Structure 1
Amino acid sequence: MPAVSRPAWLLGLLSLVGCTGGPYQGPTSDHFDGQRFSNLEPKAHKTLAAVLKWQLNRPPQAAWVEQPLPTAAQAIPQRVEGQDLRVTYINHATLLIQLQGLNILTDPLWSKRASPLSFIGPKRYHAPGLSLDQLPPIDLILVSHNHYDHLDTGSLRQLAGRFPKAQVVTGLGNGALIRQCGFADVREMDWWEALPLNKGLTLHGVPAQHWSSRTRADTNKTLWMGFVLEAPEGPLLFPGDTGLGPEFRLIHQRFGPMRFAALPIGAYAPRWFMRDNHMNPADAVQAHRQLASQSSMAIHFGTFNLSDEEQFAPVMELATALREQQVPEAEFRAPQPGEHWQVPPLQRP
């Protein structure tokens, strides 16, 4: 395959454009100094010089190729009740989670590019596993942070037109931008804050090791986070995007073993640049073990070319990491877009 490269000026251009919605203003805390947020274990933010060093020294990469969807699409139920948990992998970090009568979307992304511009920026190589027309009625949308591959205003505007009564929950400071997309019910949360959803289900904001920005000027001025859905049949974790830090052990200490966890495995190379904020497959398997997760789904791979690893490397390296860390393959799998998982209740000791 021919090699492809991405010019350094592209990242610089994208860092200067975009809509931010305004910075968060609120009281200081152990992770907010009044102007910017920080991780539990603060990491130095990558400077523009580091970005240019990465971009100018990128190795040749085999061209990514378009991936087809499965020819036979599975039917989506309107609601899932009782102890059932149904998770559909749509693409990247977009999941449809169905449990206890609620339909929940995570980091919705249907756009052709993960970019503030429609004609430039990371393009899609895999169609979404579900179209917007195939979605059941959506009750809740979780937005983990404001990066363009997680907070996509084009997709949010379309969802607001279809499901205007849906509630959106996100980190501190992201609400104004999401309201601009047409949603009226937007709730901002802090780490470790809880939001009851129904008599058996509570949503918790949890820390992740990452950062936020939509331009070079607004770095870490809004909060990034993951979410735990606490249910009698066992908790679920959606961390958005994250590096491997102390957060997974803390989440396990607070909530116990996970019934289900969605763990990112892509956008990890080169490690000197990505390590602090993106897990590679070996990191993700460690996170799976720290969470004592019964069933983990790999996310954040294969849809957009965001870093230096080859297109199919994350899935192959996940298989290697599972063998090396002696984790059964059935516990942690990489899905195809459109694949549905019926997740059993947590088997408690």
Structure 2
Amino acid sequence: MPRALRPTWLINLMTLAGCHRAPYRGPASSHFDGRRFRNLEPKPHKNLRAFLRWQFSREKQAPWIDQPGPATAPEVPVRVQGDELRVTYINHATLLIQHRGLNILTDPVWSQRVSPFSFLGPRRHHPPGLGLDQLPPIDLILVSHNHYDHLDLESLRGLAERFPQATVVSGLGNGPLIRETGFKQVIELDWWQELPLSGDLKLHAVPVQHWSARTRSDTNETLWMGFVIESPDGPVLFPGDTGLGPEFRLIRERFGPMRFAALPIGAYAPRWFMRDNHMNPDDAAQAHRQLEAQSSLAIHFGTFNLTDEGQFAPPRDLAKALADWQVDADSFRVPTPGYQWRIPRLADTPVRMDPRPQEA
């Protein structure tokens, strides 16, 4: 099969005339013109011509190899109390965050494919680190945007059957689609809006540099976002999917140094096509420094073959980037599904970091 006829290419062609839910309609704002959303620093959207240029110019990629799951599933407590913060990496951008009595899931994906079709599209190369039936009671589910590898209807239906009491939070316009999966408590937020939680926690919707679409005809009609969990013990950031823009500095200015940040390191090649919307490992190392994050975890790599970098390139490239930016590798870890991390407490006096690498 020629490179141009890869399944991802076929998916995009078949979704050109796809159906989608009614677009969000609301008052115009600094990032919404009444019809479509835009980034803080608007970037030109890659049109079909650019997409076809990418597909027809792709170089041959080594086949991805299926990886084994964890030998034993991690032991997950029912609840974590007090200032303890425990993060379990499930796969891709799916994390279980446990803190102050709350169990929080991010961008849940358990499906075999991330695609509008069950028989075609990027397939799983790494089993989830936890099965749905191994989860503790889930209180809150965060959905950063509506791309298929982040808003997965099959996984949400499975979660709604098990945890119908859970609240799902996402960006403006995503509520109707999420409610179709069976959840009753679905909250849509705009950037910088907040939602009080139990345990003296607050959830903040924050801007990230990305885009949204379920088909080729609904681009940017719903809002993408990251989330900050504000805690007396230090803030926690889950940005979903993002390029490197001004947002990380704004988040640091508003919330202070991050106790923990989940930072995407995959889906970055080719850079001319992906740069605006996906960080590469060097960008992620810069984001870690801009956030003054005490602990960061790499996400969004190694599970689904979405772009042109090799299967094992993101961890390799991150190791180099951390050395270049003089970031302690122990503070920015690369997990495999099932990895569990008890996040250290935030230092009383954070060390400010120069955002530029030092000369050798």
TM-score range, shorter chain: over 0.9
- Kept in 2: contact 1:125–1:304 (CA 8 A): yes
Report the TM-score when normalising by structure 2: 0.94
- Kept in 2: contact 1:18–1:116 (CA 8 A): no
In 2, the alpha carbon distance for the partners of 1:69 and 1:104 equals 22
Q: Which residue of 2 aligns with 1:232?
A: 232
Q: Structure 1 residue 140 and structure 2 residue 161: aligned?
A: no
State the Cα distance separating 1:12 from its structure 2 match: 2.7
- Kept in 1: contact 2:107–2:151 (CA 8 A): yes
Query: What one-letter code is carried by the residue in structure 1 that aligns with 2:212?
Result: S
State the Cα distance separating 1:29 from its structure 2 match: 0.2
- Kept in 1: contact 2:3–2:56 (CA 8 A): no
In 2, the alpha carbon distance for the partners of 1:18 and 1:233 equals 45
- Kept in 1: contact 2:18–2:217 (CA 8 A): no
Identity of aligned residues (%): 68
Where does 1:107-146 land on structure 2 (aligned, <5 Å)? 107-146=107-146
Q: Structure 1 residue 206 and structure 2 residue 206: aligned?
A: yes
Query: What one-letter code is carried by the residue in structure 2 that aligns with 1:103?
Result: N
Q: Which residue of 1 aligns with 2:353?
A: none
Q: Structure 1 residue 336 and structure 2 residue 359: aligned?
A: no
Q: Deviations over 1:291-318 (max 9, x none)?
A: 0000000000000000000000000000
Q: How many residues align?
A: 347
Relative distance call for 1:82 and 1:265 in structure 2 (3 A) is same
In 2, the alpha carbon distance for the partners of 1:115 and 1:309 equals 20
- Kept in 2: contact 1:267–1:274 (CA 8 A): yes
Q: Which residue of 2 aligns with 1:244?
A: 244
In 2, the alpha carbon distance for the partners of 1:151 and 1:121 equals 15
Report the TM-score when normalising by structure 1: 0.97
Q: Which residue of 2 aligns with 1:197?
A: 197
Instruction: Give structure 2 stretches of 5+ with no counterpart.
Output: 350-360
Structure 2 SS opposite 1:62: coil
Q: Which residue of 2 aligns with 1:13?
A: 13
Query: What one-letter code is carried by the residue in structure 1 that aligns with 2:309?
Result: E
Where does 1:1-349 land on structure 2 (aligned, <5 Å)? 5=3, 7=5, 9-16=9-16, 20-349=20-349
Structure 2 SS opposite 1:56: helix
- Kept in 2: contact 1:266–1:279 (CA 8 A): yes
State the Cα distance separating 1:320 from its structure 2 match: 0.3
- Kept in 2: contact 1:4–1:63 (CA 8 A): no
Structure 2 SS opposite 1:277: coil
Query: What one-letter code is carried by the residue in structure 1 that aligns with 2:230?
Result: E
- Kept in 2: contact 1:21–1:174 (CA 8 A): no
- Kept in 2: contact 1:4–1:62 (CA 8 A): no
Structure 2 SS opposite 1:61: coil
Structure 1 SS opposite 2:197: strand
State the Cα distance separating 1:80 from its structure 2 match: 0.4
Query: What one-letter code is carried by the residue in structure 2 that aligns with 1:7?
Result: L
In 2, the alpha carbon distance for the partners of 1:169 and 1:14 equals 29
Q: Deviations over 1:256-311 (max 9, x none)?
A: 00000000000000000000000000000000000000000000000000000000
Structure 2 SS opposite 1:321: helix
In 2, the alpha carbon distance for the partners of 1:113 and 1:325 equals 35
In 1, the alpha carbon distance for the partners of 2:76 and 2:310 equals 32
In 1, the alpha carbon distance for the partners of 2:137 and 2:19 equals 28
Structure 1 SS opposite 2:110: coil
Relative distance call for 1:14 and 1:345 in structure 2 (3 A) is farther
Structure 2 SS opposite 1:181: coil
Output the aligned Cα RMSD: 1.3
In 2, the alpha carbon distance for the partners of 1:336 and 1:17 equals 37
In 2, the alpha carbon distance for the partners of 1:192 and 1:123 equals 34
Structure 1 SS opposite 2:211: coil
Q: Deviations over 1:226-249 (max 9, x none)?
A: 000000110000000000000000
State the Cα distance separating 1:348 from its structure 2 match: 2.2
Structure 2 SS opposite 1:188: strand
In 1, the alpha carbon distance for the partners of 2:215 and 2:262 equals 27
State the Cα distance separating 1:172 from its structure 2 match: 0.3
- Kept in 1: contact 2:196–2:203 (CA 8 A): yes
State the Cα distance separating 1:10 from its structure 2 match: 1.2
Relative distance call for 1:161 and 1:30 in structure 2 (3 A) is same
- Kept in 2: contact 1:145–1:240 (CA 8 A): yes
Instruction: Give structure 1 stretches of 5+ with no counterpart.
Output: none
State the Cα distance separating 1:345 from its structure 2 match: 1.6
In 2, the alpha carbon distance for the partners of 1:18 and 1:226 equals 27
State the Cα distance separating 1:99 from its structure 2 match: 0.6
Relative distance call for 1:247 and 1:167 in structure 2 (3 A) is same
In 2, the alpha carbon distance for the partners of 1:294 and 1:11 equals 40
- Kept in 2: contact 1:4–1:60 (CA 8 A): no
Structure 2 SS opposite 1:86: strand
In 1, the alpha carbon distance for the partners of 2:20 and 2:164 equals 22
